[in-house]
Amino acid sequence: MRPFNLINRDGLSNLYTEQMYRYAPRPGCSFEIPTCGSPYLFCDARISPHCVSKIKFGGVCTGFEGLDACFNGICVAGRCISGIMPAPFVPQTELPSTLRGEITRQYASRQFTDCFNRMPCCEQWAKDGDCHTNKSPMVKFCAAACGKCRPSFNVSDEKQKDK
């Protein structure tokens, strides 16, 4: 990168974003508490409750009638128009307990696990024994390869993907 004595690889770093941003947990909602805690999100509780971004004026909102799906507006005839925002949607009927239990089990198994190899060579470095000889950076950048956590993806798929 001229005029500096650097190559392109030296300019590629994510460290500046790690210093500037803090990440919050994913917003969530439930049948009991159908709000997402943000004016830009609404709780889509039609099948299983989850937070969804609101739709802009003029946007298509078909299927979301009766929900607080439009930003500063309401859904009329499948389009978001200006109007008084309704109270958050609360379902009138309760799902059977067996169905609620099944939905809870499905979503519990989908919890996000921050267990990744942040470098493409982690598997090879782990095979070379760097997990023990160079412990601090390997645990930070290659946690999955060093076995310090349990990834939520199939590790064998990742190994075959690059071949």
pLDDT digits (tens, 9 = 90+) for 8-27: 666 666 666 666 666 677 88
Q: Is 83 in the same domain as 154?
A: no
Sign of CA dihedral 101, 48, 23, 109: positive
- Residue 2 has a pLDDT of 59
- The mean-pLDDT minimum among 2-6, 30-34, 54-58 falls in 2-6
Looking at every residue in the chain, the average pLDDT score rounds to: 78
- Residue 32 has a pLDDT of 85
- Residue 24 has a pLDDT of 72
| Average pLDDT of span 30-56 | 87
Residues 6+ apart with CB under 8 A from 129: none
Q: Is 6 in the same domain as 80?
A: yes
Q: Is 66 in the same domain as 138?
A: no
Q: Is 84 in the same domain as 139?
A: no
Q: Which residue has the higher pLDDT, 37 or 161?
A: 37
**Per-residue pLDDT band at 75 (split at 50, 70, 90):** confident
Domain containing residue 144: 122-161
Q: Is 81 in the same domain as 129?
A: no
- Residue 55 has a pLDDT of 92
What H or E segment, with its residue span, contains residue 79?
strand 79-82
pLDDT exceeds cutoff 50 at 162: no
pTM of the model: 0.39
The total number of structural domains that make up the chain: 2
- Give the model confidence (pLDDT) of 105-151 as tens digits: 776 665 656 788 888 898 899 999 999 998 888 988 898 889 888 77
User: Is residue 5 situated within a structural domain?
Assistant: yes
pLDDT exceeds cutoff 60 at 157: no
3 state DSSP class of 131: helix
